[in-house]
Amino acid sequence: MSGTYLGMPAFPRAAEMSTRDTQLRANLTHATHTIRDKRAKAVAELDDWAQLRAAGAALKDRTLRHLDHYLERLEAAVTAAGGQVHWAADADEANRIVTRLVRETGETEVVKVKSMATQEIGLNEALAEAGIRAYETDLAELIVQLGHDLPSHILVPAIHRNRSEIRDIFRREMGSWGRPAPEGLTDSPAELAEAARLHLREKFLSAKVGISGANFMVAETGTLVVVESEGNGRMCLTLPETLISVVGIEKVVPSWQDLEVFLQLLPRSSTAERMNPYTSMWTGTTDGDGPRTFHLVLLDNGRTDTLADTVGRQALRCIRCSACLNVCPVYERAGGHAYGSPYPGPIGAILTPQLRGMEGSLEASLPYASSLCGACYEVCPVAIDIPEVLVHLRERVVEGGPVTRGGARTVLKPAKGHAAERAAMRAAAWAFDHPDALRSGMRLAARTRRLHPQRLPGPGRAWSRTRDLPTVPAESFRDWWQRTRGTASERGIWPEHGTSSEQRGDAE
């Protein structure tokens, strides 16, 4: 796995490869089941969870409706506190801004707090091209980076790796990035953590520039918030002289008090903790304390376009807790890489096609990467109706329709390769609206049932590779009813005779 998402095969193909990787499936099943059980317990402890969830959703919706207003307030507050705000319309612009800011410091190395936004824009690769080395300091991100790998989970980017794989990566790679792994490193969690701590400590103490994202930005005070479990983030946020934070514009909340809701929803949903171990908050710069220069890069990259879609915009409520990944049966089998973006699982299936547009084959396949079982909606702490958005995006794929791209309304053409399906769906819908035709078709199917193959050609082959087909019964329900009850009852008039066993016994 090379460190880029470009050229990812479309979801069904990528997923087929990963379902065959039994080690991956075992790692994932173990990890997701453990965290989902813990989460359920942590959530059950609060009797006002339903109200908190509704409050979180309402707060996010209200903020999104007036996003321009809150972003301007945020900019004013950050500036007043001594920070500088930059606006980035897309990934390229954000990468250019950050590269320039790092260059201006004269440094060629930066330390990073784990951040989804910088993954989304491919910042590490852009910095590398400019001769700047970015060191990930989150333990799981470090594992991914050292392994020349890609993250496969929002919260636990290295969830697809087990302990012995991690030991091998540390032994092999740490030396070329800094302090090597200790001699005789085993796969005990304590030893692995200690090796990472020693390796990272050198980075923290020498770095002059830190790069972060943020979980929340408070418009009223200009405060940024990062929640984390390891404390690495706090080191990156306080030790360097310059701090650059790249944050999606949807992460703003109006007031300090709103954090009360989200700081309850987030840790319980993501790590099943009552409170996350480290909550770092910073407001601009303060003399003699923390970074002396602070830059906030506000990232759009498809978010305003997403906001223009009245059904799809609820995806922007997401607080990246990853609860939906941990309950998703499709994620569990397919693994995170199959989704071809830093946002895997159910949220990735609705966010990636919206942020990137749906013209690509991966993006067009993602809305179908779900059985619509609804488990993701049930756990989502901000009540994003992911199945609703999936179906909405499927409609975009097969029918096209009006969308907003780059701020302008355009009409999307239906995706290629759906012509046969569209014809079949229309034919079925026509038959269903013409019951007499439907009945003839069903009778024909019943008469020819001995001739039906057990394995199907074409798209049906996918079904019959692992499952047997049902046999068509000799008589449909409709015909049985007519034969035993007569036509009168079809209009809802009650027939005189009841059901006897002869009447119902002969339909196989």
Partner 1 sequence: MRVALFVTCINDMLHPRTGQAVVALLERLGVEVGFPAEQSCCGQPQYNTGYRHATEPLVRRFDRAFRDYEYVVTPSGSCAAMVRDNYSRIGAKAAAEGRGRGLIDAAAVAVPKTYELTEFLVDVLKVEDVGAYYPHTVTYHPTCHGLRILGLGDRPRRLLEHVKGLELRELPGAEECCGFGGTFAVKNPAVSAAMGADKVRNVIGTGAEAVCAVDNSCLLHIGGTLTRQGSAVRPVHIAEILASTEGSAW
Q: Looking at beta carbons only, is 241 or 475 nearer to partner 1? A: 475
Give the total of residues touching partner 1 (CB under 8 A).
77
Report residue 81 as tokens: 């506190």
User: Which of ligand SF4, partner 1, none interacts with 381 (beta carbon under 5 to 8 A by kind)?
Assistant: ligand SF4
Nearest distance in Å: CB 482, partner 1: 8
Contact 227, 263 (CB under 8 A): yes
User: Which of ligand SF4, partner 1, none interacts with 470 (beta carbon under 5 to 8 A by kind)?
Assistant: partner 1
Phi-psi region of 357 (alpha: psi -120 to 50; beta: other; left: phi over 0): left
Give which of 160, 153, 386, 380 is closest to 268, Cα–Cα.
Answer: 380
Tell me the per-residue interface mask from 448 to 467 with partner 1, x by CB under 8 A, - otherwise. -----------xx-xx-xxx
| Calpha distance 37→41 (Å, rounded) | 7
* Residue ranges in 270-329 that form contacts with partner 1 under rule CB under 8 A: 329
Give which of 40, 46, 45, 49 is closest to 383, Cα–Cα.
Answer: 49
Nearest distance in Å: CB 377, ligand SF4: 9
Q: Looking at beta carbons only, is 130 or 398 nearer to partner 1? A: 398
175 in contact with partner 1 (CB under 8 A): no
Residue from 99, 105, 285, 489 touching partner 1 (CB under 8 A): that is 489
Tell me the per-residue interface mask from 361 to 380 with partner 1, x by CB under 8 A, - otherwise. ------xxxxxxxxx-xx--
User: Which of ligand SF4, partner 1, none interacts with 378 (beta carbon under 5 to 8 A by kind)?
Assistant: partner 1
Q: Looking at beta carbons only, is 16 or 68 nearer to partner 1? A: 16
| Residue 99, number of CB atoms within 10 A of its CB | 17
Q: How many residues does the chain have?
A: 508
429 in contact with partner 1 (CB under 8 A): yes
Report residue 76 as tokens: 């004013």
**Beta bridge partners of residue 450, listed in sequence order:** none
Q: Give the binding site for ligand SF4 (CB under 6 A).
A: 269, 318-324, 347, 379-382, 384
Nearest distance in Å: CB 374, partner 1: 4
**Angstrom distances, CA of residue 403 to CA of 90, 302, 313, 360:** 18, 12, 12, 15
Query: C-alpha angle 74/76/79, rounded to 5°?
Result: 105
Looking at 16-24, 98-106, 163-171, 345-353, which segment touches partner 1 (CB under 8 A)?
16-24
Q: In sequence order, what are the residues at sequence separation of 6 or more whose Cβ sits closer than 8 angstroms to the Cβ of residue 36?
A: 323, 326, 327, 379
Nearest distance in Å: CB 359, ligand SF4: 24
Give which of 22, 26, 23, 24 is closest to 34, Cα–Cα.
Answer: 26
Give the helix/strand (H/E) hosting 109.
strand 109-112
Residue from 2, 106, 492, 496 touching partner 1 (CB under 8 A): that is 492
Give the helix/strand (H/E) hosting 331.
helix 329-334
Nearest distance in Å: CB 351, partner 1: 18
Nearest distance in Å: CB 120, partner 1: 24
* Residue ranges in 21-50 that form contacts with partner 1 under rule CB under 8 A: 25
Q: Looking at beta carbons only, is 102 or 386 nearer to ligand SF4? A: 386
- Residue 286 is classified by DSSP as B
- The identity of residue 402, as a single letter, is P
Nearest distance in Å: CB 382, partner 1: 17
